[in-house]
Amino acid sequence: RGVAVDEYGTVYVSDSSNHRIVKWTVNATEGVIVAGGNGVGNRTDQFNIPGGMILDKSGTIYVVDENNHRIVSVPAGAQNGTVIAGGHGQGNSSRQLSNPIYLAFNRDGDLTHCYDNHRIFVIVSSIQCLDSVFVQSLCILSATTGITVGPGDLQWNSNGITVVGSDTAGTSLNQLNGPRGLFFDQKTQILYIADRDNHRIQQLLPNGQIKTIAGDPNGTPGTSNDRLNQPSAIYIDENQNLFIADYNNHRVQKWENGAASGITVAGETGIPGSGLNQLNGPQAIWVDSKNNLYIADLRNHRVVKRLSQTSVVVAGGNGQGNLPNQLNDPVGLYFDELNNDLYISNYLGHSITKWKIGETQGTFIAGTPGQSGTSSTQFSSPSTVALDKNGNMYIADTSNHRIQLFCHGSSKEGKTIAGITGQNGNKPNQLNSPHDLALDTQKLDLYVADSDNNRVEKFSFISPSSKGIKTMMEQHLILVLIIISFVLFY
């Protein structure tokens, strides 16, 4: 059930049903028992269904002793092991494990975490197991390979590259004026920009060409179907149709692919209101696979789902506030369709709410509701919430002038991946009131609407541990091949 290989090619196997660890050197025709093998039991020279196993650099074997609910380390050549985690019976206290199944090293070769059937643990100095601490610093890099890395392994270049705009606002094609919404179309590799105070939508093509595809190219607002008034967000569906949250017109427009004008699909042009057919400052939008439209209705402090003739409230709608059943200036929206969860950023609530469709209240998953701050657990007017394909969460923390990463798994502590906390500026490593972000989910490059700098910045993904990650993947493949060989030939 567990296999490990040292640098000399020696294979160590958890012979679970025989309650022992067996070592096979290169070209050997039989193995040697190096741990256990003294019958089933809970002595330090015994195991009860040994499972996952890892070697450290000194040759010490770390074994998941599943039915003894413990982790045991056995130094090279030793007859007895040492219990380094668990061993206090089955349970869920911080000193107990419950049928642990797996453990892992960090990239420096130190034992860092183990998994039981219910929790993730971090092992500190190979002595004790702390309940669920590692959840707060765990990022999933690849759900398909099962590789996880710490937040320090997911990094972006600290200096951004301006891809559109400059420090000076303007109406020429390569200028912006308070850009807000971004959308990166993975299929076409086109970046869409809601150039809010120019009242238009810009398109950055992969070849660097910039086009105006909606609104007046010269920046004139209006209420007609070919004009916009402070567009705040955009969404591109699978047919390249463009949906626009036309903020100051209190409507959502749909511009079909290639159209010269849009049609109103939600709200009443120029008429703010709180009725189900009305909007008051639509700020963010999402279109699901069934073409249902979700709208963050800012001044009504709610999220509505647009049906064929009317809308229904799916989150908030209970007044402005910081209670679980309220929203507080919802400006960002992400819909996890697989799990039926809405992620909502509360701009004046300084928090992120996760709200399952059909529930009457949400759960605060990041930030301190109603309280701004600059720490790694706080926000100051968060604008955008986005998730990558592995569930890691990205926040445009607007008034802190930074982008925060929250790793998958209920993390409450963020890591700054772009900008400098509390420091606004126009240098390549600075941001000034970023209001939106878009992620190239394949390359993990990050695009940021740096609103008060009138530009869009691109922060390229880098990983200082890419070599280590590659090695981990190679080791995973080798172990799979070894296991297959044992199944076929032994």
pLDDT of residue 487: 47
pLDDT of residue 388: 87
pLDDT of residue 299: 98
Distance CA 162, CA 170 (A): 15
Reading the chain (490 residues) residue by residue, the pLDDT tens digits are: 678 888 788 899 999 899 999 999 988 889 999 999 999 999 999 999 998 888 877 788 988 898 998 889 899 888 899 888 888 888 877 677 888 776 665 444 444 445 454 444 444 333 222 222 233 334 555 433 344 455 555 789 999 999 999 989 999 999 999 999 999 999 999 999 999 999 999 999 999 999 999 999 999 999 999 999 999 999 999 999 999 999 999 999 999 999 999 999 999 999 999 999 999 999 999 999 999 999 999 999 999 999 878 899 999 999 999 999 999 999 999 999 989 999 999 999 999 999 999 999 999 999 999 999 999 999 999 999 999 887 889 999 999 999 999 987 656 789 999 999 999 999 999 999 999 999 998 888 999 999 999 999 999 998 644 444 444 445 545 554 554 554 455 4
How many helices (H) and strands (E) would you count in the chain? 1, 40
| Ordered domains of the chain (ranges, CATH) | 3-112 (2.120.10.30), 155-462 (2.120.10.30)
pTM (predicted TM-score): 0.70
pLDDT of residue 87: 86
Q: Do residues 176 and 167 lie in contact, with contact meaning Cβ atoms separated by under 8 Å?
A: no
pLDDT of residue 346: 98
Distance CA 120, CA 100 (A): 10
Q: How far is CA 348 from CA 15, 345, 370, 372, 449, in A?
A: 57, 9, 7, 9, 19
End-to-end Cα, the chain, rounded Å:
14
pLDDT of residue 159: 97
* pLDDT per position as a tens digit, 461-478: 986 444 444 444 455 455
